[in-house]
Structure 1
Amino acid sequence: MTILVFPAELKSQEKRCAVLPVNVKAYKLLGATVQVQAGIGAAIHVTDEEYAEAGADIVTSRSELLSNADIVLSLHKLSVDELAHLKPSTMIVSYLDPFNERDFVTRLCDKHITSISMEMIPRISRCQKMDALSSQASLAGYVMVMQAANQLNNVLPMMMTPAGTLKPAKVFVIGAGVAGLQAIATAKRLGASVTAFDTRTVVAEQVHSLGAKFLDIDLGETGETGQGYAQALTPEQMQIQQREQAKCIADSDIVITTAQLFGRKPPQLINLPTVESMQAGSVIVDMAAENGGNVEGSIAGEVITHNGVTIIGTGSWANGVAKHATQMYANNLFNLVSEFWHKEDNTFSLDLEDEVQSGCIVTYQGQVVNAMLQSIYAENHSSTDQKEEA
């Protein structure tokens, strides 16, 4: 019988985990054995007793837990040292950040560990129920608005009072992907006047459907990838965007930037002169601060003030609503496992020809098997060779 193990998350300040008792019951119905590390749900007030009642075995020793595993499911990837506890051919499923963690991927190959990267689940209709990036980004959009509202000295909705009328706050959202659309919807629910911009003009209709205005900037030829991500702009297009959106930024009480490029450093959308054009007391939330930032001067993991403008770069946005974030991520994992569960022998059925697995499996039988990563690694290797020759 396949043993699924769920280790506790060790990252500092992380409250989320990869499984809830309701998921344990569902995995048991598939025919799997479920083991969880003691204390896995403590940060969201789920007790070991609740996991045990659902059918999970509670294991105190982390090394023992990992050595038992056929499949390890977690939010963050294991440490390199922890890979030593795994049996060859064990499968790990988590966020792996394979674009930036090539050394870790190499160690997975050395250990013959099969790995699935949750951020590489294809964005196709079949995968919506397992798309962890989208589920966590949606919550991030909500949390960013709430954090901005807590820092702003004004109320968001218009208020008619005996003491006078309070104008609604002006919110400008840059990027209308999953996080951006949720930020727009949340700000509108709170009564703010919302404007949004995205390089993909095809999303203008979605912005309007939420009651927001769409800032129309002519950037020439833009578009999106086959996975639905925004394509990178040319330097000239970036200059046009920054220039045209500067007036809207200066007039806004809250600016939320959500622009991230899959597998690459996010673009800088707001420079310091633009920040300094905003009124003192205004707030900027930089969703991409942890990965390099959309806003010049933002600091990963911190809230700072520049020229009277508060810039929030705390990151780990979905962690701000950890219980629901855990529920969504845990369901994403279960939907992935159940999609490929072989009921006859109670195992996860690997199929590298499947359109889903071929997109998200990173390593298998000692090799990097993901076509996108193979291409990127080859490009990086070629670039390194050229630099050494120069």
Structure 2
Amino acid sequence: MRIGVLTEIRPGERRVALPPEAVASLCGDGSTVTVQTGAGRHLHASDEDYRAAGAEIADSAEQVAENSDVLAVVNPPELPVIQALPSGANLVGMLNPFQEARAVRSARDQGISAYALELLPRISRAQSMDALSSQALVAGYRAALVGADLLPRFFPLFMTAAGTIPPARVLVLGAGVAGLQAIATARRLGAVVSGYDVRAAAADEVRSLGATFVSLDLETQEGAGGYAKSQSADFAERQHAALAPYVAESDVVITTAAIPGRQAPLLLTESMVAAMRPGSVVVDLAAQSGGNCELSKPGETNVHGGVTVWGGADVPSQLPVHASKLYGANQTAFIRLLRDGEADDEILVGCRVTAGGEIVHDGVRRALAEEPDQREQGE
């Protein structure tokens, strides 16, 4: 199998789909890996490191694509790169198919089988390929560090001759992988931590990390695949009212709630932020998908009434070495399944977006049906 690895060029993106250790593993299986020059620059991995792992180096993305049976990416590549792939090739990555309509249609028209790892079925056999979880772990860790950095006071308790410094109070909204890692990291830094999630099942996980679970006496909102389901306007209004006092007494609020393919739920309104003490911090990991905080903007840090609001953008890329290591392990496991598994394997079927010149994923096909088809407009 011929595997290609691109140099990611989107602004803010510092990861690579396959770091050298993943390349060495795949080459050890008998695969041929071609890596675009400079792919590992943010990992401090040189072209020579990739050569030592067994890879060949190509100058351009198109060169990599045209010689690949599988193109491993972090983000959807540029259209000329997709069009350089041979018909019947495979494209594997975080393809964001609900928003990246042009890339999806280009893959369809090229006869490519495109696999979006964020659509991976949430079953035990797919855990080693679960890129959403691995990258959420990185983001959750980073969120706690950002909160500690922006807060103008200590996280831990200090008892000194000059007096006692009480610990910071951190509230984490959303107890998925990112939220739980944020809780664990904030606890390690010495803060007093509370966590909230609309799924009742998350309570035990929050408590297992030594944090307090915030129970709002609202109905549970368990959705498909272990995610929270979309909330009604009435539920959201009651949730905001119930959360408000917990938010107001917190020094740092970290929000992590997201539903793949949908806008993030609004958890912090402007009035809730206004009630926080000056010097407090909000860290919104969902800023790029609409934001859990009404005041957050992706990639920006703003101050509102003395409260600092940090909007996350490309957060896993801020720790590219280990983000790429984890993502590379996900990619490696998936590529091996693609090579050795059956075409009708439920994992492959679950995240296959295009194949045989068609959009084959029902959810993506429905989501894109209302948008103008670029092919029909001659674009």
Which bracket does the TM-score occupy, shorter chain normalised? Answer: over 0.9
Amino acid at match of 1:321: L
Aligned to 2:301: 303
Aligned to 2:149: 150
Aligned to 1:87: 86
Distance of 2:154 and 2:20 partners within structure 1: 39
Distance of 2:105 and 2:61 partners within structure 1: 23
Distance of 2:287 and 2:220 partners within structure 1: 27
Measured against aligned partners, the alpha-carbon deviations of 1:227-254 in whole angstroms (never above 9, x if no partner) come to 1110111111101110011001010000
Distance of 1:85 and 1:91 partners within structure 2: 12
Secondary structure of 1:285's partner?
strand
1:52 equivalenced with 2:51 (yes/no): yes
1:175 Cα deviation (Å)?
A: 0.4
Secondary structure of 1:341's partner?
helix
1:354 equivalenced with 2:345 (yes/no): yes
C-alpha distance 103-13 of structure 1, shift in aligned 2 (>3 A): closer
Question: What is the percentage of aligned positions where both structures have the same residue?
Answer: 39
Secondary structure of 2:34's partner?
strand
Distance of 2:64 and 2:102 partners within structure 1: 24
TM-score between the two structures when normalised by the length of structure 1: 0.92
Q: Is the 8 A contact 2:87 2:111 kept in 1?
A: yes
Higher mean displacement: 20-29 or 210-219? 20-29
Aligned to 1:102: 101
Aligned to 2:236: 238
Q: Which one of the candidate residues 360, 363, 369 is aligned to 1:369? A: 360
Amino acid at match of 1:319: S
Q: Is the 8 A contact 2:83 2:106 kept in 1?
A: no
Aligned to 2:140: 141
Distance of 1:299 and 1:101 partners within structure 2: 21
Q: Which one of the candidate residues 285, 289, 294 is aligned to 2:283? A: 285
Distance of 2:84 and 2:366 partners within structure 1: 30
Aligned to 1:346: none
Distance of 2:268 and 2:347 partners within structure 1: 36
Q: Which one of the candidate residues 328, 331, 341 is aligned to 1:330? A: 328
C-alpha distance 204-294 of structure 1, shift in aligned 2 (>3 A): same
Distance of 2:309 and 2:234 partners within structure 1: 26
Aligned to 2:222: 223
- Extract unaligned runs of 5+ from structure 2: 372-379
Measured against aligned partners, the alpha-carbon deviations of 1:328-377 in whole angstroms (never above 9, x if no partner) come to 000100011123423xxxxxx551x2110111111000111123334444
1:297 Cα deviation (Å)?
A: 1.6
Distance of 1:194 and 1:7 partners within structure 2: 40
Q: Which one of the candidate residues 237, 251, 254 is aligned to 2:252? A: 254
Secondary structure of 1:201's partner?
coil
1:270-281 aligned within 5 A: 270-281=268-279
Q: Is the 8 A contact 2:240 2:267 kept in 1?
A: yes
Aligned to 1:321: 319
Distance of 1:357 and 1:317 partners within structure 2: 27
Amino acid at match of 1:360: C
Q: Is the 8 A contact 1:30 1:338 kept in 2?
A: no
Amino acid at match of 1:5: G
1:108 Cα deviation (Å)?
A: 1.4
Measured against aligned partners, the alpha-carbon deviations of 1:15-64 in whole angstroms (never above 9, x if no partner) come to 21111222112111221111001111111111111110111001112222
Q: Is the 8 A contact 2:12 2:314 kept in 1?
A: no
Distance of 2:328 and 2:246 partners within structure 1: 39
- Extract unaligned runs of 5+ from structure 1: 343-348, 382-390
TM-score between the two structures when normalised by the length of structure 2: 0.95
C-alpha distance 242-196 of structure 1, shift in aligned 2 (>3 A): same
How many residues get paired?
371
1:41 equivalenced with 2:40 (yes/no): yes
Secondary structure of 1:72's partner?
strand
Give the aligned CA root-mean-square deviation in angstroms. Answer: 1.4
Distance of 1:195 and 1:207 partners within structure 2: 8
